[in-house]
Amino acid sequence: MSNMEQFSYDNKIVRNFALATIIWALVGMSVGLWAAIELYFPSMNLDLSWLTFGRIRPLHTNAVIFAFVGNGIFMGVYYSLQRLVKARMYSDTLSKIHFWGWNFIIVLAAITLPLGYTQSGEYAELSWPIDIMIAVVWIIFGINMFGTMIKRRENHLYVAIWFYIATWVTVTVLHVFKSLAIPIALTSLTSYPVYSGVTDALVQWWYGHNAVAFFLTTPYLGLMYYFMPKAANRPVYSYKLSIIHFWSLIFIYIWAGPHHLLYTSLPDWAQSLGTVFSISLVAPSWGGMLNGLLTLRGAWDRVREDPILKFMVVAVTAYGMSTFEGPMLSIKSINAISHFTDWTVAHVHIGTLGWNGMLTFGILYWLIPRIYNTKLHSVSSANTHFWLSTLGLLFYSVPLYWAGWTQSLMWKQFNADGFLQYNEFLSTVTRILPMYGMRIIGGTIYLTGVILMTINLKKTMNSGKLIENEAAEAPARVKYVKHAGEHWHRLVERRPMQMLLWATITILIGGFVEYFPLVMVDDNIPKIDSVMPYTPLELEGRDIYIREGCVSCHSQQIRPFRSETVRYGEYSKAGEAIYDRPFLWGSKRTGPDLAREGERKRSHGWHYDHLRDPREISDGSIMPNYPWLISDDLDTGYLIAKIKTLQLLGTPYPEGYAEIAHDDLVAQAKQIADELRAEKKIPMEGVENKEIIAVIAYLQRLGTDISAE
């Protein structure tokens, strides 16, 4: 053809993201395995603050979500987008800035999270300067992606690109609104969110659930729509189905966040909306799953032989299982059993290890030999990896389902006399420790497979040579001319910016409908007169509680069930959390709920000894030791800045209080230290200056405002 144009695809950037995907898989999963080991052998934190569960758990989640899966997304997008639009990436420079910027951010996360710098929100822990960097790099990715679409040679945008567009715009919206926080000082990594309590909870789970939806799901659906047809060498089963499930999925997903807050003090209407839309999600989700599996029609004989197709089949099946289970877990009566237990952890790992992990492995095995112009070093090793992944997934998740059901039923069990059968929370933990042990075995098997893959792919790379710039040709794009009577949607799907606009409108509807009534109608968060702001010492203690990631294991939200009110006290009210920035309701109870810890009237000495060595107080506890709380002095250098920031956000400290807050802090610390000395009958030289006094002050305050009413 005379109008054929010669160009090349940038494979080097694809290779770089592939390498980062593999490296971060090894790192993120190793950290996850270590965290799992600590839950079985709590002394494995080696009494080191930076190695303790509460700090490495967010490192694990960030490393596997944003580093492993994130780089996996970019690897797949950079490979498929160029080929789908028949154009090289818009700018090689932007590609490089994107790659190095993103991975620099991950390195910063890997340093700051173990050091305890966290904003606490799940999957949104990173400190405010890193949040700004993420926004900048994400916009660079967007410019590069949309620039490539604009200079494309193919008029139509394939459905995979729709998913990439929806991913980009939604992650942008989620990241911006979730990250709205005021730093206490430009020299500090600490910040307080602009939302508090119930509102912060809603925004968190609007963000948290949609991080799952638009980081772990929609981009991977895009990758599925590209790489499954490539691997099977046949077109997608139904393009019509892909259109219907795309628009339905992105519309519904954004509403589903409140299912993380069922039976909490979030208003009922918001909980019910979350439930209804979560249940509805099963339809578009299964539309995608069926479309993926049916793409293999007529090719199932190859699935027996080809490890790549095996990975993809199990990945899509895991997606189907996970997206069936998710809506079921959103039904209030089921959520009453599952929430705060390991059932949720198992559910999440079906999605991440199965869907994200195995689809990524399949893509890597398909892609690396192609860009290196060689064959996979060992097909049998890839087959072994497939079975290790499948078995690892089962050995990981089945024990955790078992643990979740067991523990939840134990929490709710009353004896014939009407008392809790398992009054001691710890007895419900020691019962499930064997399952925690099996989880370690499952994780080890899965990680072994990843190591095997790394070796296999390294040898594959060594046997070939990277085609950095892969030659391609395609006809020049014919300027589109609108025909009379043509449907407007053809314009939309040919124009990336119009697709961006419609996708934005679609995903914004749910967020606005759920958010604005909550903040605009006072009745949704009734005030309680006796609820007061934290004292300066309690505030510092709360920030240490956040630093140590206590929220990873301890909820602060008592649901209105008899089994919870008998165990923990009066159920939690929305008005109790209005000064909580961030909210600390948690999502998992590896330890007991602490919402009314202060009401338990435990002595300061009990807390002191328990934080120093939990097993001295509670034999068999899996809580780590916190010796550094006893040895480290409390840093009050930013106290004034903290009080002023909270005042700016509306916390009613008296005018000028910031200047005298330190005096109050010292006085309260002295009072607690004196009571502690009196109780323990030892000098405890200088204990009033230690961090542990602030933590004790915070714990003793929890839940006491209501009793004062």
Partner 1 sequence: MFKSLLSNAEHLNWMGIPSLLTFTTIFVIALVLVFTKKKEMYEHLESLPLEDGTKK
Contact footprint for partner 1 (CB under 8 A): 9, 80, 83-84, 86, 153-154, 156, 158-160, 225-226, 229-230, 233-236, 239-240, 243-244, 246-248, 251-252, 255, 268-269, 271-273, 275-277, 279-280, 331-333, 470-474, 487, 489-490, 506, 509-510, 513, 517
How far apart are CB 299 and partner 1 at their closest, in Å?
13
Closest CA to 374 of 457, 262, 460, 481: 460
Integer Cα distance of 339 and 77 in angstroms? 35
Q: Is residue 687 within 8 Å of residue 605, measured between CB atoms?
A: no
- Taking each helix axis from N to C terminus, what angle separates 657-680 and 691-701, rounded to the nearest 10 degrees? 90
Q: Is residue 517 within 8 Å of residue 694, measured between CB atoms?
A: no
Q: Is residue 549 within 8 Å of residue 305, measured between CB atoms?
A: no
| SS3 per-residue string spanning 548-584 | CCHHHCCCCCCCCCHHHHHHHCCCCCHHHHCCCCCCC
How far apart are CB 301 and partner 1 at their closest, in Å?
20
Enumerate residues 6+ apart whose C-beta is below 8 A from 394. Answer: 442
How far apart are CB 351 and partner 1 at their closest, in Å?
24
- Specify the residue, 16 or 242, whose C-beta has the smaller distance to partner 1: 242
- Specify the residue, 277 or 396, whose C-beta has the smaller distance to partner 1: 277
- Specify the residue, 490 or 662, whose C-beta has the smaller distance to partner 1: 490
How far apart are CB 689 and partner 1 at their closest, in Å?
50
- Specify the residue, 331 or 433, whose C-beta has the smaller distance to partner 1: 331
Closest CA to 229 of 324, 165, 316, 145: 316
How far apart are CB 235 and partner 1 at their closest, in Å?
4
How far apart are CB 174 and partner 1 at their closest, in Å?
20
- Specify the residue, 475 or 637, whose C-beta has the smaller distance to partner 1: 475
How far apart are CB 638 and partner 1 at their closest, in Å?
41
Helices (H) and strands (E) in the chain, counts: 30, 4
Q: Percent helix, strand and coil across the chain, each rounded to 5?
A: 70, 5, 30
- Specify the residue, 9 or 579, whose C-beta has the smaller distance to partner 1: 9
Closest CA to 366 of 353, 375, 357: 375
How far apart are CB 493 and partner 1 at their closest, in Å?
9
Integer Cα distance of 225 and 291 in angstroms? 9
- Specify the residue, 143 or 482, whose C-beta has the smaller distance to partner 1: 482
- Specify the residue, 133 or 244, whose C-beta has the smaller distance to partner 1: 244
How far apart are CB 469 and partner 1 at their closest, in Å?
11
Enumerate residues 6+ apart whose C-beta is below 8 A from 582. Answer: 119, 120, 121, 192, 193, 195, 196, 200, 204, 546
Query: Could you please report the per-residue DSSP string of 403-439?
Result: HHHHHHHHHH-B-TTSSBTT-SHHHHHHTTHHHHHHH
Pairing between strand 4-10 and 469-475?
antiparallel
Q: Is residue 87 within 8 Å of residue 152, measured between CB atoms?
A: yes
Integer Cα distance of 270 and 257 in angstroms? 9
How far apart are CB 22 and partner 1 at their closest, in Å?
24
How far apart are CB 682 and partner 1 at their closest, in Å?
55
Residue 155: Cβ-neighbour burial (10 angstroms; 0-12, 13-18, 19+): middle
- Specify the residue, 237 or 585, whose C-beta has the smaller distance to partner 1: 237
How far apart are CB 531 and partner 1 at their closest, in Å?
25
Query: Could you please report the per-residue DSSP string of 106-120?
Result: HHHHHHHTTTT----
CA atoms within 13 A on the CB side of 674: 6
- Specify the residue, 250 or 692, whose C-beta has the smaller distance to partner 1: 250
- Specify the residue, 17 or 237, whose C-beta has the smaller distance to partner 1: 237
How far apart are CB 222 and partner 1 at their closest, in Å?
11
DSSP label at 260?
G
Integer Cα distance of 228 and 235 in angstroms? 9
- Omega cis (within 30) before 475: no
- Specify the residue, 236 or 640, whose C-beta has the smaller distance to partner 1: 236
- Specify the residue, 267 or 569, whose C-beta has the smaller distance to partner 1: 267
R_g of the chain, CA atoms, integer Å: 26
How far apart are CB 273 and partner 1 at their closest, in Å?
6
- Specify the residue, 201 or 435, whose C-beta has the smaller distance to partner 1: 201
- Specify the residue, 248 or 621, whose C-beta has the smaller distance to partner 1: 248
Two tokens, residue 433:
């420790």
Question: Could you give the C-alpha distances from 548 to 86, 165, 345, 358, in angstroms and in order?
Answer: 49, 37, 20, 32
How far apart are CB 335 and partner 1 at their closest, in Å?
11
Continuous H helices in 295-340: 300-305, 307-329, 332-338
How far apart are CB 245 and partner 1 at their closest, in Å?
9
First to last CA, the chain: 83
Closest CA to 318 of 277, 275, 358: 358
- Specify the residue, 331 or 379, whose C-beta has the smaller distance to partner 1: 331
Two tokens, residue 545:
């509680």
At residue 43's C-alpha, the angle toward residues 37 and 49, to 5°, is: 95
